[in-house]
Structure 1
Amino acid sequence: MSTEFDLGALLAERGAERYELHTEYLNPQLPRMLHTIGFDKVYERAEGAHFYDADGNDHLDMLAGFGVMGLGRHHPVVRKALHDVLDLDLADLTRFDCQPLPGLLAERLLTHSPHLDRVFFGNSGTEAVETALKFARYATGKPRILYCDHAFHGLTTGSLSVNGESGFRDGFAPLLPDTAVPLGDLDTLARELMKGDVAALIVEPIQGKGVHEAPPGYLRAAQELLHKHKALLIADEVQTGLGRTGDFYAYQHEDGVEPDLVCVAKALSGGYVPVGATLGKDWIFKKVYSSMDRVLVHSASFGSNAQAMACGLAVLSVMENEQIVAGVRKTGELLKSRLTALIDTYELLADVRGRGLMIGIEFGRPSSLKLRSRWAMLQAARKGLFAQMVVVPLLQRHRILTQVSGDHLEVIKLIPPLIIDEADVERFVAAFTAVMDDAHSGGGLMWDFGKTLIKQAVAGR
């Protein structure tokens, strides 16, 4: 009897059981939710910004795995780097040596934020945030972290403490001492800093939930206030970093902003390997790692592993050689301008905002009586249902994958792979226009589906 493990044979034999396996052994609500909204697709393969089903139909990905697939799926350069590092048989993770790949990736990563000096590598965005919170508290000797309303920084206990949405926090208290402040409100920030116990403010330059950008000048002014009170500025660039907004980091859109700590993850490995990184100033790292006795005071078992480091180096190489950031600025402006032009056409379309290829499409109360009554019906059942009504036909009828940008929000967030082209933009705009036409037509399949969503929303209360 063969003792070899054949992954392809296993998937050929059992792959069709995917939804049953999830129902039985993983989160049972995921397959239930996917069945309910008609997202229970079976994707066989993927390449770049597209998925393909068993019949060979392509689906445009405007989600990028929640931003992980910055370069799309299976970029050949990153894929080769992963094969290469596996074939090298490196003595990885001995824990009592200094392998070259982490140092090489740190060196390359820091060239994009020259005011920062050192890097800690973990395994995820939430780990990058946890690292920043720990380092800020230790370096300043203060306990409290400020964060912004509606922020999302992760779901482990520390990062959950600075999560601005009660739905994620409820039932998991007690958490770290913290305080929420409104994004852009310098007066509230100043009042909290006067109390003298604030270690840092952590902020997304553009919030993932709702796609809300920090007002012009806010980050720089906040940084000055924080430093005046010997507190730190932490920029969470887990979703906005690595070119997503048309600059390498989103904080770089504002002159003079130099965060003390920067959190990176998601797209850094090209989607192949979990990875996270916390970049920081030299004095902060030297204070945390102040002696040989403290050499392992903060570490991660899989941190700096060779596969993640090799992928990270390949990703940064691709970004430079293929001028990814410049492409994002061009494609993002095209997408945003094409969508913005539709606002005057559709009364249900309230706003289009964002930077680069991080765009929020917000829906709002229509003016006409017929649509207003239908809108009110949805809002009474559950806020956010109309946005879901748009997301579903985009996938079912037009084979385009998108997401609602947070619970109870009438906002769709577009965070496609950074390599989408003009044809992909036009495909999305044409599909979105068709869905909006249907929503405004008076009848329409969308409103029939809305009734199904209302039943689910009421039943789930």
Structure 2
Amino acid sequence: MSTEIVEKYQERLAEAYTLHRKFVNPQFVRVLEVIGYDRNYVSAEGAYLTDANGVKVLDFLAGFGVYNIGRNHPHVARVLHDTIDAKTASLVQMDLGVLSGMLAEKLAEITPGNLEAVFFTNSGTEGVEGALKFARQASGKHKIVHCHHAFHGLTLGALSVNANPEFRERNEPLLPGCIPVPFNDLDALEEALRGGDVGAFIFETVQGKGVFVPDDDYLKGARELCDRYGTYMIADEVQCGLGRTGKMFAVEHWGIVPDILVISKALSGGFIPVGAIVTTREIHGKIFDSMERCFAHSNTFGQNDLAMAAGLATIEVLEKENLVENSARMGGRIIAGMQKLTEKYEMLSEVRGKGLMIGMQFAEPKSMALKASWKLLHKMNNDLFCQMITMPLLEKHNILSQVAGHGLDTVKILPPLMINDVDVDKFLAAMDDVLKEAHKITGSAWKTVKDLGIRTARTS
């Protein structure tokens, strides 16, 4: 049976877009076709994807941060095969699995401070939902403070602590008592917490939409304020955790320990969805405080043995292959190289990030000819300019990247943590070439993106 499925997969590779147009999400198919991202990838290994024409593409998107250890890592694959062959008694429900205990033990070891009570989830947004419940139940307070530009997931509870209107529209009213404050603004945070009636302050340690990095004193100040006003800190490290920023967890850059830590994405190794809420035994004990409340929060698939094995194997790879350290080194090279390009190209105004979570900010140029084209493009669509960077990166240089968020003029990269100096040199050379073209007012880059804006307007 399994062989037949794989054979059918091989036979039907060319039908991917047809199947998705008919049965899944036709609007996403249209988006990919319009921006030239319809490559139809058929295989992947490490930092590279291979498309239907045999072209290798350097993956600087990594499944939105899923593939920290690279795609199809042989160690994780082998562990999963061995787990299946072992015929483990997974998901008995009215019993306990040793693999989930082992992964919980390992997470308690590698997370900062006294975070040692673990609840397993299937995704990042489920982790955020659980963390909000934990904070409300343990504190007895229902208000939640969150940050502008935050992205915590798209289920209704997580969406309630997203400050971006493009995600919230058509979903109001959302969870009551959710209060947005500006990121990096301790005065605004204290004003929101001052009443002592806030259960939790939730934040992305490094914000994914735009790659906004906290000021040096922000998280320490936030920790002090939360302690002063009796508010739990929830660190959402779904994307920035597990080595992404050059530390195992991004909070380590600023020396703080949250009360609740949410992780997912990379913990899976890219094979089996898995996430975790890691908190203190004290907080956990306030929720699961009696035998009657042993299921105060639960799910069906959270502790499945394949997910647990994938998590354990992924952490082994991160540690044995020194990928956290490699993230810091390769990220440092990219940031330094891109900062040099800010001196060369006027529209590249800032490069920010930690490790291999990097945002490249573009801004209105000073030269009159470029300024006029910039304004025209933004009048057509606020999200068009960054396509002038991402589209030729893929079309001409075979590097996959992404726009960081709506109306931000930011291009974001999330390379696998196992990239090497050759990959970094390729990316920096490609960016130099793409930026050079983008600064030619009569160049093909401007025409391509203007035509894209016209086509988008006609089909919307």
The C-alpha deviation readout for 1:23-68, integer Å capped at 9, x for no partner, is 1111110110111111111212100000112332210000000000
Q: Are residues 1:192 and 2:192 paired?
A: yes
* Cα deviation code 1:236-291 (max 9, x no counterpart): 00011000001011111012x11000000000010101111000011111111011
Mean alpha-carbon deviation: is it higher for 104-113 or for 352-361?
A: 104-113
Whole-angstrom distance in 2 between the partners of 1:266 and 1:223: 25
1:224 CA drift (Å):
1.3
User: Structure 2: how far apart are the matches of 1:59 and 1:190?
Assistant: 46
1:197 partner letter = D
3-state SS of paired residue (1:278): strand
Determine helix, strand or coil for the equivalent of 1:74: coil
SS state at 2:200 partner: strand
Identity of aligned residues (%): 45
Name the structure 2 match of 1:67.
65
Q: 1:102 maps to which residue?
A: 100
* 1:433 aligned residue: 432
Within 5 Å, give how 1:9-408 maps onto structure 2: 9-113=7-111, 114-177=113-176, 178-255=178-255, 257-408=256-407
Q: Which amino acid aligns with 2:427?
A: F
SS in 2 for 1:331: helix
Structure 2: runs of 5 or more not aligned: none
Between stretches 410-419 and 379-388, larger displacement belongs to 379-388
> How far apart, CA to CA, are the structure 2 residues paired with 1:351 and 1:396?
24
In 2, Cα distance between the equivalents of 1:447 and 1:91?
A: 58
Q: Deviations over 1:125-151 (max 9, x none)?
A: 001111100000000000011000000
**How far apart, CA to CA, are the structure 2 residues paired with 1:12 and 1:76?**
21
CA–CA separation in structure 2 for the residues paired with 1:37 and 1:58: 19
Which amino acid letter does the alignment assign opposite residue 335 of structure 1? I
Separation in structure 2 between the aligned mates of residue 54 and residue 14 of structure 1, nearest angstrom: 12
- Residue identity opposite 1:236 in structure 2: D
The CA deviation string for residues 319-373 of structure 1, in whole angstroms up to 9 with x for no partner, is 1111111111111101110111010110111111101000100111111111111
Letter in 2 for 1:143: H
In structure 1, distance between residues paired with 2:55 and 2:23: 30
CA distance in 2, matches of 1:451, 1:4: 47
- CA deviation map 1:388-447 (0-9, x unaligned): 111001101111000000112210111110101110001011111111111112322111
Question: Measured at CA, do residues 35 and 4 of structure 1 come closer, stay the same or move farther in structure 2, by a change above 3 Å?
Answer: closer
Look up the equivalent residue of 2:68 and give its one-letter code.
G
Contact 2:364 2:371 in 1 (8 A): yes
CA apart distance, 1:231:
1.0
Q: Which amino acid aligns with 1:220?
A: K
8 A contact 1:382–1:457 mirrored in 2: no
Asked if the contact 1:144/1:200 (under 8 Å) is kept, the reply is yes
- Partner of 2:49, secondary structure, is strand
- Which 10-residue stretch deviates more, 382-391 or 122-131? 382-391
Amino acid at match of 1:31: V
Structure 1: 5+ residue stretches without partners? none
Whether the 8 Å CA contact 2:107–2:116 is kept in 1: the answer is no
Is the contact between residue 196 and residue 231 of structure 2 (CA under 8 Å) also seen in structure 1?
no
CA contact (8 A) 2:381 2:453 kept: yes
Q: 1:111 aligns to what SS in structure 2? A: helix
* Separation in 2, partners of 1:416, 1:324: 12
CA apart distance, 1:14? 2.4
| Aligned counterparts of 2:241 and 2:249: Cα–Cα separation in 1 | 4
CA distance in 1, matches of 2:9, 2:118: 38
Q: Which amino acid aligns with 1:190?
A: E
Deviation per residue, 1:143-173 (Å, 9 max, x gap): 0110000000000011000011011011112
Instruction: Please name the residue that 2:442 is paired with.
Output: 443
Q: TM-score, normalised by structure 2?
A: 0.97
User: In the TM superposition, what is the alpha-carbon distance from 1:457 to its structure 2 partner?
Assistant: 4.6
Q: Distance in 1 between matches of 2:51 and 2:147?
A: 40
> Aligned AA for 2:175?
L
Secondary structure of the residue aligned to 2:346 is: coil
Tell me by how many angstroms 1:460 deviates. Answer: 6.3
| Secondary structure of residue in 2 paired with 1:423 | helix
The CA deviation at 1:9 is 2.1
Which residue type is aligned with residue 181 of structure 1?
A: V
Amino acid across the alignment from 1:91: A
Cα deviation, 1:99-121, whole Å, max 9, x if unaligned, reads 11111111111112242121100
RMSD over aligned Cα, in angstroms? 1.3
Shift of 1:4: 7.3
- Partners of 1:346 and 1:112 lie apart in 2 by 41
AA matched with 1:402? S
* Range 434-443 or range 63-72, more displaced: 434-443
Q: Does the aligned pair in 2 maintain the 1:381–1:457 contact within 8 Å?
A: no
